[in-house]
């Protein structure tokens, strides 16, 4: 069987988008534009406040500023093209742009995953060792931890990209509104088994480190909470951790659904809908 030649940097993919209904497209454009604008304003405000207010220069806000930076970046990598598809109907994307989008989205998605783990560790130290908190979570330690997160995110993402660049594609229609690994593997005519194994291994590694950190941290926090007799004390700890736990559950729910499934054939029509929440919440 003869397959088409491999794509070059001058070739294009065609993104399927979310819907072909023009009335729904107009509504979705306005909705996503509003959400994206709020996301930019919110995340940028957190970063600016952290940089400009000395009293916020503590580990919790240090990690939060990097989380906001990561969130701002990966939503900005995907959303403008989505808005272009909904408003203008331009579904084409150059091969080089697609690969760049794939790499950058993977980097900042992995980075957010790791930072969420760091934030749970930070909350655990703050609750269990309040008097030694600033000594344990010193500025130099926080910078080293965040540097490790960036290094791991970039390294695993480039590894997946290296294998993705070696793929030969039989089709150009990507059943998604951005370039992601599962839909790209689905249209590849070369063997994708290595890509799938590397993808699952890297996602499992990044997620595993973060999940284990979160589980151990919150397990210890629960142990501390059970030893507190004061209702007010328990409520205060719950209030401190509730927002972080909500973000963790939403983030990992989409990751498990979209990436930790055994093969490209498991990519379904529901995945783009799930991805919207992953990118825009």
- pLDDT per residue as tens digits for the range 182-231: 888 888 888 889 999 999 899 889 988 988 998 898 888 888 887 777 77
Residues 10-39 have pLDDT tens digits of 488 998 877 777 778 888 899 889 989 998
Q: Answer whether residue 6 is part of any domain.
A: no
Residues 90-135 have pLDDT tens digits of 889 999 999 999 999 999 989 988 999 999 899 889 888 888 998 9
Residue 90 domain boundaries: 12-280
Cβ pair 156, 200 in contact under 8 A: no
Binned at pLDDT 50, 70 and 90, residue 8 comes out as very low
- If you average pLDDT over residues 37-63, what whole number do you get? 91
Q: Can you give the pLDDT at residue 255?
A: 60
* CATH at residue 81: 1.20.1070.10
- If you average pLDDT over residues 159-170, what whole number do you get? 89
Binned at pLDDT 50, 70 and 90, residue 7 comes out as very low
Q: Answer whether residue 246 is part of any domain.
A: yes
Binned at pLDDT 50, 70 and 90, residue 239 comes out as low
Burial of 56 (0-12, 13-18, 19+ CB in 10 A): middle
Q: Answer whether residue 151 is part of any domain.
A: yes
For the entire predicted model, the pTM comes to 0.83
Strand-pairing partners, residue 13, are 93
User: At residue 38, what are phi and psi to the nearest 5 degrees?
Assistant: -65, -40
Q: Can you give the pLDDT at residue 1?
A: 42
Q: Can you give the pLDDT at residue 11?
A: 80
| Predicted confidence (pLDDT) at residue 235 exceeds the cutoff of 90 | no
Q: Answer whether residue 209 is part of any domain.
A: yes
- Domain count for the chain: 1
Distant-in-sequence, close-in-space partners of 238: CB < 8 Å, separation ≥ 6 = 225
Q: Can you give the pLDDT at residue 10?
A: 47
Distance CA 59, CA 62 (A): 5
Q: Can you give the pLDDT at residue 98?
A: 92
Q: Answer whether residue 2 is part of any domain.
A: no
Q: Can you give the pLDDT at residue 72?
A: 92
User: Tokens at residue 184, please?
Assistant: 């790209």
Q: Answer whether residue 5 is part of any domain.
A: no
Q: Answer whether residue 7 is part of any domain.
A: no
Q: Answer whether residue 1 is part of any domain.
A: no
Mapping DSSP onto H, E and C, the string for 232-281 reads HHHHHHHHHHHHHHHHHHHHHHHHHHHCCCCCHHHCCCCHHHHHHHHHHC
């Amino acid at each position: 069987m003869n397959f088409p030649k491999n794509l070059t940097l001058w070739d294009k993919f065609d993104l399927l988008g979310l819907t072909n209904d023009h009335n729904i497209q107009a509504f979705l454009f306005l909705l996503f534009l509003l959400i994206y604008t709020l996301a930019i304003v919110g995340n940028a405000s957190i970063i600016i406040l952290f940089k400009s207010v000395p009293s916020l220069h503590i580990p919790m806000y240090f990690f939060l500023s990097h989380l906001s930076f990561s969130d701002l970046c990966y939503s900005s990598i995907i959303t403008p093209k989505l808005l272009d598809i909904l408003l203008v109907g331009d579904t084409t994307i150059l091969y080089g742009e697609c690969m760049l989008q794939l790499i950058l989205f993977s980097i900042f998605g992995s980075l957010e995953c790791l930072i969420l783990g760091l934030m749970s560790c930070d909350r655990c130290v703050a609750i269990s060792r309040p008097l030694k908190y600033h000594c344990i979570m010193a500025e130099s330690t926080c910078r080293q931890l965040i540097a490790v997160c960036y290094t791991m995110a970039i390294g695993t993402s480039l590894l997946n990209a290296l294998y993705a660049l070696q793929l030969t594609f039989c089709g150009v229609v990507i059943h998604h509104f951005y370039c992601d690994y599962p839909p790209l593997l689905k249209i590849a005519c070369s063997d994708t088994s290595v890509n799938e194994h590397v993808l699952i291994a890297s996602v499992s590694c990044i997620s595993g480190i973060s999940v284990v950190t979160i589980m151990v941290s919150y397990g210890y926090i629960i142990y501390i909470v059970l030893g507190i007799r004061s209702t007010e004390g328990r409520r205060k700890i719950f209030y401190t951790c509730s927002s972080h736990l909500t973000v963790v559950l939403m983030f990992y729910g989409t990751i498990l659904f979209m990436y930790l499934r055994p093969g490209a054939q498991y990519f379904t029509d529901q995945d783009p809908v799930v991805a919207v929440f992953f990118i825009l919440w």
